[in-house]
Amino acid sequence: MLGSIYSYVFCHIFETSNTYIRTASTVSFFLWFAACGILMVLWAFAIGLLATLIHASFRTPNLKARLNTFREEFRAVWRNTLGQIAGEKAGIFKSGVPAFTVPQPEEAMMVLEQKASQLDVNLQVVDPLDPSLLSGLHLGLEGEHQYLNASLAIALCSTWPHKSSHVGINYLNQTTSLPEEFIRGLATASLQGRAQIVSDQFIESESSGDLVFYLDGAHCPESMDVCAKWFCLATKEDCKSSHNQSYCDSERLHESEKNGPFRKHSTQRPLPNFESDQSVQIRSVQVRCHPKDITGVVYHRSYPLIALCSDDCTTYDFHGMVYFDMNQNPLIVFLEIHRVHSSADGRGVLDLKFHPRQS
């Protein structure tokens, strides 16, 4: 209980205080950890200079170094190169203490290796976890990037019992199997708001059932890309089911109502994907123009799509980034055309909408 109170107080101090108070509170908390005989502290260093201060102030041999990927957004905050940022992050390295990192950009990796060599640090680069090692289970945290995070966690948890006499597990090789404790922890790990799917059971929709929220967060373009890929993967099965049903409905619509002045049918359009533009420039899109008057405009409720129809008997659709799966295959979205004449003399396409199961 006392540890929980201390953790809460520390987080409050760190979020609301200036740099001097933060540093002083950090030192006091580490002294408290040592006085209480705490065996291990897992710490996330988000500020490079703090890592250097910790290295200079504390000599505990059981402090492991863990480095995540250095992203480009750090440059915007610190106005430094990735190499300089890596040098600050490497301040956590301690002589003779192993360190683990995920694959880094070449510029950053060179600095980390140089710092590790100077301090006689065994710097190891971890690879993504092999899913087959989970004995048929899945990671509790969704997303392909979590397999890299899981591998980093395994490396840390394996080194701790190897260096300590408090736990009898010694597992530094994760190429053939994992201890049951590791598998159970990886499969049950959870973090609300990260790749989380929440169904609202109290709100019903006549067309799609329960209202479903897909929750995730991002703080840079790379993270946003990860969020988009997870979302496409999470909705893949639903898209498959909708597409299969749409093919059947399209056939029925096409075979029916062939007679009369109006025809109703569906067209399938493969939508190519676009990579997200990570620059600050505004993307310009050259759109096609109908030779005659626009008779209808429809917006997609779920995807960045817009479709137009015209007196000239044509329909155009315009789209943004729409992925169907992790391989970035195009997503097929059906466009229903209602009330269309066989020639432009009869006013062409008068009404259209996206397929109800996809809009």
* Whole-angstrom distance, CA of residue 160 vs CA of residue 164: 6
- Domain 82-188 grouped into CATH 3.40.1190.10: yes
Chain segment 130-145, per-residue pLDDT in tens? 888 998 898 988 888 8
pLDDT at 286 over 60: no
Per the structure block, which two tokens stand in for 338?
A: 């209602």
Please give the pLDDT value at position 61: 47
Q: Which residues of 115-145 are buried (b: 16+ CB within 10 A; e: fewer)?
A: bbeebebebeebebbeeebbeeeebbbbbeb
Average pLDDT over residues 176-185: 87
Average pLDDT over residues 51-71: 49
Helix (H, G, I), strand (E, B) or coil at 113: helix
Per the structure block, which two tokens stand in for 129?
A: 């976890």
CB 129 within 8 A of CB 175: no
* Whole-angstrom distance, CA of residue 36 vs CA of residue 139: 34
317 versus 256: the higher-pLDDT residue is 317
- pTM given for the model: 0.52
Please give the pLDDT value at position 186: 92
- % of the chain residues with pLDDT over 90: 4
Please give the pLDDT value at position 88: 80
Average pLDDT over residues 32-54: 56
> Predicted confidence band at 158 (pLDDT cuts at 50, 70, 90)?
confident
Chain segment 330-347, per-residue pLDDT in tens? 555 556 555 555 555 656
Please give the pLDDT value at position 287: 42
> Predicted confidence band at 198 (pLDDT cuts at 50, 70, 90)?
confident
